Structure formats: C-alpha cells, structure tokens
Amino acid sequence: MLEPDDVRFRLMAITDDLRDHIDGLVARACAAERGGATMLLVRLKHADARTLAEVGRALVTTLQVPVLISERLDVALACGAAGVHLNAASVPVMAVRPHVPEGFLIGGSISSLADVERALDADFVTIGPVYGAGAAALGADGFRELANACGRPGIAIGGIDTSTVAEIAAAGASGIAVIRAVLGSADENNITSTFASCPICMFYSIDTHRETCDLVGGIQPTSERDNNRAS
C-alpha cells in the first residue's frame, strides 16, 4: 500500500472516448498533463483489446505521469503501463497481485461496504459516486466511511467539480478523479490547471517545476524532456 499523500493520487484524469482518434486522445492527455494531472486512467469501454493496447502504448511512451489501464491486466502488462484499475465486479485484487511485477500499481473500486474486502490488497481505491448520482451518491460522509473501512488511499470519483473539492478533501480524500471535466473539456490544459489549484491538488505543474517531477519519480519537465529527445 502506498502513502495517502502520494502525489500521484492528487488528480487522476480518466479518458472518455476516441472521438478524435488515438492521436487526438494523446494530445488531450498531454494537455491535461501540462495542466497538472498526476495520473491517467485509460478507460475506453467500447474499444477492443488491440485498440486499447495501441492507445496504452501511445500514452505510455508520450506521458511522464503514470498511465493505468482499466480492467485489462493483460493489456496493462503488454503496453508497459504503470498499473491496472479493477472495478468492483472484477477479480479480487489479491488474486491479481502475485502476477504483476514489483511496483506495479493495482487500484480497486468501492461503492459500498460490500466492496471493501475485494480491494483490501489494493495500492489505492476509487470511491464513488460521491456526487451527482441521485440516491446512489455517497456524499462526503459516505466517502469518509468507505475510506476509513478500507484503510487505503481513497480517490473520490463521481460528480467532482471545483465547488466540491474542498468538501471531499476535508472528508479525507487523497485525490480526485475526473472524466468529462478534464478530457471531455474543450481546453484540457486550463481546466486541469483550475482543478490543480484546488487545496487537495496543490502541487506544481510538471512541465514547469522540477519539485513535482522529483516527487513523482524523477521525471523531467516537458521542455527538458523534449530537448533530450532532440539531442
């Protein structure tokens, strides 16, 4: 298990679709990274394994933040992703752990107390939906209850926007996960920067400040990385 304040958990951007093809998604992901996203989760519900692997490889080779694949452990390992995220209906995390290399991140998903046991060996969990799902919404109090029950770094998901970040931070969230609010935006860089300026996500943008690069594993700022590739 990783520490709750691990900087990688602060702002997880989740892919939405391939409306602009792989190159377009990569461009949007790069904009989110420049804006301050600290992790990217590839979740493309209608993509086949081959397409998902192609997307994963493109993102892994382009981004400096960790790239995780939703559900497909085989694809995550094949494309060199930093980890996999399993939903509540997937195999238990403990069944996956023996088959992955050291340092490979495994995320779980929790929406009720019944899901906690399946995620006990996870490095982190997403907890939600916190807001915007009617009677199914957990709210800040429900998030706090599940985060305490699982004892893992908890990333809040579901209806998160800049007006609710402070409340969910006070409930003990290690970070937030956003889909449409970032990669579905017309301006991924600026909207991600807006989230990154919220209290739970206070860190320096990785393309301009060395301090955050050191925290997330010695990665280089974008400008420095590009110069090295050109040399």
The helix/strand/coil state of 182 is: coil
What are the structure tokens assigned to 97, written together?
Answer: 């752990």
Q: Which of 7-11, 61-65, 136-140, 196-200 has the lowest mean pLDDT?
A: 196-200
Report the C-alpha gap between 231 and 227 in whole angstroms.
Answer: 6
**Radius of gyration for the chain, computed over Cα atoms and rounded to the nearest angstrom:** 16
> Letter for the amino acid at 166?
A
Q: Is the pLDDT of residue 179 over 70?
A: yes
pLDDT, position 154: 96
Q: Is the pLDDT of residue 229 over 80?
A: no
The mean-pLDDT minimum among 66-75, 91-100, 152-161, 184-193 falls in 184-193
Reported as a single tens digit per residue, the pLDDT across 78-105 is 999 999 999 988 888 999 999 999 999 9
Predicted model pTM: 0.82
Residue 2, CA distances (Å) to 13, 24, 229 in order: 19, 32, 31
Strand 83-85 and strand 11-14: the pairing is unpaired
Summarize the confidence of residues 161-169 as an average pLDDT. Answer: 87
Asked whether residue 129 carries a pLDDT value surpassing 90, the answer given is yes
Whole-number Å distance between alpha carbons of 46 and 20: 15
Q: Are 43 and 59 in contact (CB under 8 A)?
A: no
Split at pLDDT 50, 70, 90, the class of 77 is: very high
Question: If you average pLDDT over every residue of the chain, what do you get?
Answer: 82
Over range 108-123, report the average pLDDT. 93
C-alpha to C-alpha distance for 226 and 231, rounded to whole angstroms: 9
Instruction: Name the nearest CA neighbour of 58 among 101, 84, 83, 21.
Output: 21
117 token code pair: 């046991």
Q: What is the mean pLDDT of residues 191-212?
A: 45
